[in-house]
Amino acid sequence: MMMSMQDKIEGIMESVRKHHDLYRNALPMIASENVTSKTVRMLLASDLSHRYAEGEVGARFYQGCKYIDEIEEKAIVYAKELFGAEHVNVKPISGVNANIAALFALTASGDNIMALSVPEGAHISHAKYSVPGIRNLKLEDLPFDSTEMNIDVDAMKREIKAKKPKLILFGASLFLFPHPVQEARAVADDVGAKILYDGAHVFGLIAGKRFQDPLREGADIVTSSTHKTFPGPQGAIILCKEELKAEIDEAVFPGTVSNHHLHHVAGLAVTLVEMMQFGEEYATQIQSNAKRLAQYLYEQGFDVLCEHKGFTESHQIAVDVRSFGGGDKVAKDLEKANIITNKNMFPYDKAPENPSGIRLGVQELTRLGMKESEMHAIAALIKRVVIDEVDENRVKDEVIELKNNFCHVHYCFDEGDAYENPIL
């Protein structure tokens, strides 16, 4: 029997309802996600989501954009103020899109660049099969110290001098500690290299002045998505020096973006205002929660990386779980208990299918109001699943009980229910 149109639509709605229910009752610990404020969610459903505004503020190719101009201009002004940037572009629709634009602006086909490898923490957009490959760049690995889980500074300087790259790309997907931007700057100047910093994961910590300040440390361009530690709508942003304004803007439009997502720009503008007010408090609590959760997991018997240097300075924690079956098994077992995280490669891994580790992020839990005492409870729940091998359904009941006290968004002007959706 063929399904009716209404049945098909209802099937989609039911899947969305189930997704909402899952996250209302789960501990969201994916390090690349966050929840927006109620105001931002309202803007994402506004008429802006239907419209086009190709071109620049005040010089659009369509009519009907005068209020869109106001919104985009505000987003640019607020971003300049929050990050101390000389120039801002809010048109990129994803972090990868921002990286593509930046690499097209700063490099030519055949140029040498240096970045981390994926097993050492790089985002996939830094790898030869992604953006560097699209641009036909010659990619060299930045030297990495797996004990410190960071770039080897002295080896980096030697490699920059020897290989004379056109571009040095910092930033990572597994990003525990600040990267040596300042240390690279003088060497980069000696060989004529630009520095690009992909701040996607730590952008909210940068906004809250709790990680590093890549622009002040010497980065020419900062790219970032806007929905990880920075708790805005999905999208991206580019900050750069004034001297690179023309190259960046042309690489974004018409280079890699036709129409940008206008409802996301409005949501970004609001989130920038929220972070001006609450960013330092929020970032401080994220760091405290991450350090505390890492310490509690370590005390429970987990192999948490970098114990000798306080585990982390970001929102992320890296845990080697080879002794418990590997990252794939552990992440799936935790999901059965409504603890949502992801498997993750470490420098000594060769294949991504079942890597050594899991990556935990606390930014969304923090946004929902959790603090140090909840980190202690979460560490105990993770231990019950992974080490004690307690039935996941029993642990799930405890997870639901804990999470139901933390379903409202904090560090914003309207602390509403994160999962409220009157349509559903």
Average pLDDT on 145-167 reads 97
Contact 269, 71 (CB under 8 A): yes
Whether the predicted pLDDT of 423 surpasses 70: no
The region of weakest confidence among 189-203, 278-292, 345-359 is 345-359
Average pLDDT on 198-203 reads 98
Is 213 among the domain residues?
yes
Give the C-alpha separation, 364 to 315, whole Å: 10
Closest by CA to 93, choosing from 261, 285, 316, is: 261
Contact 84, 215 (CB under 8 A): yes
- Residue 148: count other Cβ atoms within 10 Å of its Cβ: 15
**pLDDT value, residue 133:** 84
Whether the predicted pLDDT of 424 surpasses 80: no
**pLDDT value, residue 172:** 96
Is 82 among the domain residues?
yes
Cβ neighbours of residue 240 closer than 8 Å, sequence gap 6 or more: 85, 86, 87, 88, 89, 220, 221, 222, 248
Closest by CA to 335, choosing from 396, 405, 397, 418, is: 396
**pLDDT value, residue 292:** 98
Is 256 among the domain residues?
yes
Contact 344, 317 (CB under 8 A): no
Whether the predicted pLDDT of 85 surpasses 70: yes
Which residue segment(s) compose the domain that 101 sits in? 41-273
Give the C-alpha separation, 237 to 198, whole Å: 10
Is 154 among the domain residues?
yes
pLDDT (tens digit, 9 = 90+) per residue, 374-418? 999 999 999 999 999 999 999 999 999 999 999 999 999 988 899
Closest by CA to 107, choosing from 68, 139, 135, is: 135
Backbone angles phi and psi of 412, in degrees to 5 = -155, 180
Question: Cα angle vertex 415, ends 369, 422, to 5°?
Answer: 115
- The single residue listed with the structure tokens 């105001």 is 39
Is 26 among the domain residues?
no
The region of weakest confidence among 76-80, 100-104, 414-418 is 414-418
pLDDT (tens digit, 9 = 90+) per residue, 364-375? 999 999 999 999
pLDDT (tens digit, 9 = 90+) per residue, 309-364? 999 999 999 999 999 999 999 999 999 999 999 999 999 998 889 899 999 999 99
Task: Write down the mean pLDDT value for the chain.
Answer: 96
Is 245 among the domain residues?
yes
User: What is the gyration radius of the CA atoms in the chain, in angstroms?
Assistant: 22
Is 351 among the domain residues?
no
Contact 167, 194 (CB under 8 A): yes
Is 212 among the domain residues?
yes
The pTM (predicted TM-score) of the whole model is 0.96
Whether the predicted pLDDT of 421 surpasses 80: no
What percent of the chain stands above pLDDT 70? Answer: 99
**pLDDT value, residue 3:** 86
The region of weakest confidence among 40-49, 127-136, 246-255, 310-319 is 127-136
Give the C-alpha separation, 180 to 4, whole Å: 59
Report how many domains make up the chain: 1
The CATH number of whichever domain residue 210 belongs to comes to 3.40.640.10
Whether the predicted pLDDT of 239 surpasses 90: yes
**pLDDT value, residue 422:** 65
Task: State both tokens at 61.
Answer: 């190719």
